[in-house]
């Protein structure tokens, strides 16, 4: 969000924007105007509370050593970010301190766990890829939705897909938010705004779409829909509906 001059309009706001606000990475003048508007919106405030709860869970975990190769790639990305003309970071040490403050870390203890919980993908500036002598950080963009087959899941495995689905806003055969809203209405499921994540999956051999909705403090509601049959008057189009609390 570096360099953003105007406050994004909403609601709704994207999950990425709310996560940036929660992490304290937005420009101060933008965050000061955006936070009261986000907190006044029920859906957005629910996401903020879920992020708070997840961070509390992460802070309670025992220290997890960061693998050397992961640390090297992060340091390479921070070094590239600190180069003049790339981003307004004063020094590599300041960039490292800022990283730790955002994640609530003293030195890297639960970074891996946090990345797993939120499905974090490290984003770096284009200049990082231009230095052939620097280790390359992970790609900031995901592959096209049709580059790989959908996740194949059983009904008791839906929780294992949360990390992947949270990273996506792919309506697949549902195509539009309005179609999703109609399918949720048909199942008697009340939700407004953008889902936390949505992606096509294969549920026990049947093509489907999985949506993740906020469901209370630190909880997610996982809804799986049959895109061929779901609709405002088709409750049978809901193939699965369960609430979980990620750990």
174-191 confidence digits (pLDDT tens): 999 999 999 999 999 887
From edge to edge, which strands make up the β-sheet containing 151-153?
151-153, 197-203, 206-214, 220-225, 238-244
> What pTM value is reported for the model?
0.43
List, for residues 41-91, the tens digit of each pLDDT value: 888 888 988 888 888 877 787 777 777 777 777 877 777 666 655 545 445
Domain residue limits, the chain = 15-130, 145-244
What lies within 8 Å, CB to CB, of 178 at 6+ separation is none
Q: At what angle do helices 42-59 and 15-23 cross, to 10 degrees?
A: 50
């Amino acid at each position: 969000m570096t360099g953003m001059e105007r406050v994004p309009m909403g609601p709704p706001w994207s999950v990425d924007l709310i996560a940036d606000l929660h992490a304290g990475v937005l420009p101060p003048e933008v965050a000061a105007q955006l936070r009261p508007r986000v907190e006044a919106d029920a859906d957005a405030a629910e996401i903020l509370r879920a992020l708070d709860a997840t961070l509390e869970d992460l802070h309670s975990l025992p220290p997890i050593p960061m693998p050397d190769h992961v640390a090297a790639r992060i340091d390479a990305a921070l070094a590239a970010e600190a180069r003049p003309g790339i981003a307004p970071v004063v020094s590599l040490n300041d960039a490292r301190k800022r990283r730790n403050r955002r994640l609530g870390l003293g030195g890297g203890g639960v970074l891996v766990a946090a990345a797993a919980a939120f499905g974090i993908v490290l984003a770096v500036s284009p200049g990082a890829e231009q230095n052939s002598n620097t280790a390359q950080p992970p790609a900031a963009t995901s592959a096209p939705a049709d580059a790989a087959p959908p996740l194949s899941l059983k009904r008791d495995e839906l929780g294992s897909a949360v990390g992947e689905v949270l990273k996506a806003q792919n309506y697949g055969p549902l195509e539009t938010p309005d179609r999703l809203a109609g399918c949720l209405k048909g199942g008697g499921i009340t939700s407004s705004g953008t889902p936390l994540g949505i992606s096509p999956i294969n549920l026990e051999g049947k093509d489907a779409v999985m949506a993740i909705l906020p469901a209370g403090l630190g909880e997610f509601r996982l809804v799986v829909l049959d895109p061929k049959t779901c609709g405002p008057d088709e409750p049978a189009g809901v193939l699965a509906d369960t609430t979980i609390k990620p750990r």
